[in-house]
Structure 1
Amino acid sequence: MKRSNRTVGVMMIGTMIMSACGAPAPGEDDVIRIGHLPITHAAPLYFVKEFEDELLSHGNIELVRFSSWIELMDALNAGRIDGASVLFELAMKAKERGIDLSAVALGHREGNAIVAAHDITDPADLRGETVAIPHTLSAHHLLLDEMLREAGVDYEEVNIVEMPPPEMPAALSEGRIASYIVAEPFGALGVTLDAGHVLYQSDQFCPGSCLCCALVLRDDFMEEAPELSDAFLTAYLEAGVMADAMTEEAMRAHQNHLNVDEETLSLSLAWIDYGDLSIGEAEYEHLRSRLIDMDLSDEPPAFSDFVDQSAFEESR
């Protein structure tokens, strides 16, 4: 039997608008419009924008900022933006529902801390407590499930709620939740504010990687503006290398897009890797199987139907 508390966020995908009325034709003005939330996981996009003249050989990039994943997915599915840095699992669900998207790269690797109140020292302490995640369709939900299973805690013993990431550190500090798992920099913010501590890092449950955020592009955009999409992807991969550097110039580029103090940003970046943004078939298949196991997806798209790694092949 499917667990109803795991399907709350999934059903919201069905409300997304699929009409592209009023949207410009893909690439018609040599501008690629990419959606994002203001998180450290989207950093390669920030570097493409910051160093646009240096990295982008053709066209321009417009970063479109959203306040929620649902708003971003509405715009992506309707064609109001050409692509997005988005939760991998959300993009897979959109593909499953018939939206023509391709995952062309990762946004990052690692950087998904499980932050808990100071009196929570073991996953077993979360029995009867409330844990916040950003969305049911997220790596953070999968990480929570993995941690609970390894600790022998039944999923139903924990109250799992969806919460906007910026609210999580305050909610932990005020005792409204006992733990949260979310994209950076909000995990690091909870630590630097002393609202809680790191109970676990994602690599303790997903050796090598836990696929979290992906860069996805609309297929119609790539077909109608191949020169612009190719130039953007080349710039994006170079931007990932730049985002991984802890130089003063790189820190300024991060700070221009993230409203956090230097201590929080430095801690956040210490947890994240942008060096390898390729999507491996084995790790993708692991994600597919976990989504099915958790009753979050019936038929997640196959690797060959959803993942496009041509940019990496051309860069070799």
Structure 2
Amino acid sequence: MTTARTTTTRRPRPRALGAAAVGLLALSACGADDGTASEEGIPEGELVEVTVGVLPIAPSVGIYYGIEHGIFEEHGLDVELEYADAGAAMLPAVSTQQYQFGIGNPNSVLNAADQGLDIRIVSGYTNSWAEGDDVAGVIAKADSGIEDWTDLEGASVAINALQTQGDLTIMESVENAGGDPEAVSFTEMPFPDMPAQLELDNVDAIWVPEPFMSQTLSDDANHLVGHSFQDAVPGMPTMVAFSSGDYVDQNPEVAQAFHDAMREALSAAQADEEGARELLVDFIDMPEEAAMSIAMEEFEAEIRTEEIDEVAALMVKYGFISEVPEMSEIYFVD
């Protein structure tokens, strides 16, 4: 294993995940040794370098807040962030330890478990709101005739990845409203491309989180159909932090340090909402006015296991996974 290094924390600049990493999903999780620490733990005054995969969306600012305020350094970690288009795209990099940790939706972890990959949830990250204005939604053109969930029957809906949070919660919302979820067609594309594709009528509706939801709704030609999280699993976790089972087992001190740093960072970001919003301007090049007005998710390191259990049951219901995994085996125990 690689020993911890003495250094100062780099100011991170997120980089894009190379497309070649996506093809590594079939590889074993034996991984490289980069970003590991000795079994004795992180020596005081030294830092372990770890790479964390994140999505280029507003809630990812929670970990950035912790980096900018020196919280990860205080826990012995030197964190570098890299961008990916979806949580599922991070799994190959996390499995092979190109990334030591990833931050994405819990559905990706459940999919990985169904494929026999050992991925562990190290901490919670963000949750949707059970009522009121939520942080993601389905948007259609105001003159499209799509007014509620049942109107999505026969329609094409853009989501960022197939068989994950978008299509799962939309299908459940359609069924709960009395419609046929199997009659909805889903198209995969990156979030930044969706508003333009909606405008060009290449899709009938789009499922987007912030900041894309507020940006798209700022055009009066569009309107909100509904918040699929709230109508499927109210208050469901939208993102969690995860790592490979091999990395956690080989580096429990690093996993614990990351867990503890996430708990402190997310609690601080939640308490300092204005400070977190200010960082969005630099973090994802968001205009200051938008950063101060978009809906933000709840930052919380506690893992909402009951809601994740509900998500797992829905994934079986709609054929996303073959069976509910042994849930106790996917959680990192601190």
Name the TM-score class by shorter chain.
0.7 to 0.9
Q: Shift in Å at residue 95 of structure 1?
A: 2.2
For 1:242 and 1:52, the matched residues in 2 are separated by 12
**Residue in structure 2 matching 1:167, options 193, 200, 210:** 193
Choose the corresponding residue for 2:62, options 44, 64, 67: 44
Deviations 1:23-58 (A, max 9, x none): 334424711211112112323221222223576321
Q: How far apart are residue 255 of structure 1 and its match? A: 2.4
Aligned to 1:79: 97
Helix, strand or coil at the partner of 2:120 = strand
Inter-CA distance 45–54: structure 2 relative to 1 (3 Å threshold): closer
Which of the numbers 289, 297, 300 marks the counterpart of 1:272? Answer: 297
> Which of 321, 327, 332 matches 1:297?
321
Q: Which amino acid aligns with 1:107?
A: Y
TM-score by length of 2: 0.79
Further displaced range: 24-33 or 103-112: 24-33
Output aligned runs, 1:1-316, within 5 Å.
Answer: 16-19=25-28, 23-28=32-37, 30-52=48-70, 56-110=74-128, 111-119=135-143, 120-194=146-220, 196-202=222-228, 204-206=230-232, 208-245=234-271, 247-268=273-294, 270-274=295-299, 276-310=300-334
Stretch of structure 1 that moved more, 140-149 or 37-46: 37-46
Superimposed CA distance per residue, residues 144-181 of structure 1 (whole angstroms, 9 cap, x where no aligned partner)? 11221123221243222112111111112222222122
> SS in structure 1 opposite 2:56?
coil
Q: 2: CA distance between counterparts of 1:22 and 1:148?
A: 41
CA distance in 2, matches of 1:248, 1:280: 25
Equivalent residues of 1:116, 1:198 under 8 A apart: yes
Q: Identify the residue that residue 5 of structure 1 maps to in structure 2.
A: none
1:246/1:180 CA distance change after superposition, 3 Å: farther
Displacement of 1:135: 1.5
Q: State the one-letter code of the partner of 2:163.
A: L
Amino acid at match of 1:273: E
1:238-258 deviation digits (Å, cap 9, x = unpaired):
221233246543222222212
Q: Is the 2:278–2:292 Cα contact (8 Å) retained in structure 1?
A: no
Q: Kindly tell me: are residues 65 and 281 of structure 1, through their superposed partners in 2, closer, same or farther at Cα, counting changes over 3 Å?
A: closer
TM-score (norm. length: structure 1) = 0.83
Q: What is the root-mean-square deviation in Å for CA atoms of aligned residues? A: 2.6
**3-state SS of paired residue (1:212):** strand
Cα deviation code 1:290-315 (max 9, x no counterpart): 010000101232221112353xxxxx
Q: Gapped runs of 5+ residues in structure 1?
A: 1-12, 311-316
**Cα distance in 2, alignment partners of residues 158 and 203 from structure 1:** 17
Query: Contact 2:236/2:308 (CA < 8 Å) preserved in 1?
Result: no
Q: Deviations over 1:245-280 (max 9, x none)?
A: 465432222222122223433343x24211x33223
Equivalent position amino acid for 2:331 in 1: V
Aligned length: 296
SS of residue in 1 equivalent to 2:93 = helix
AA at the equivalent of 1:278: E
Q: Which has the higher contact order (CA 8 A, sep 6+)?
A: 1
Structure 2: which 5+ runs fail to align? 1-21, 38-46, 129-134
**Residues in 2 aligned to 1:22 and 1:292: alpha-carbon distance in whole angstroms:** 30
Q: What SS is found at the alignment partner of 1:217? A: strand
Aligned to 2:259, what secondary structure does the other structure show? Answer: helix
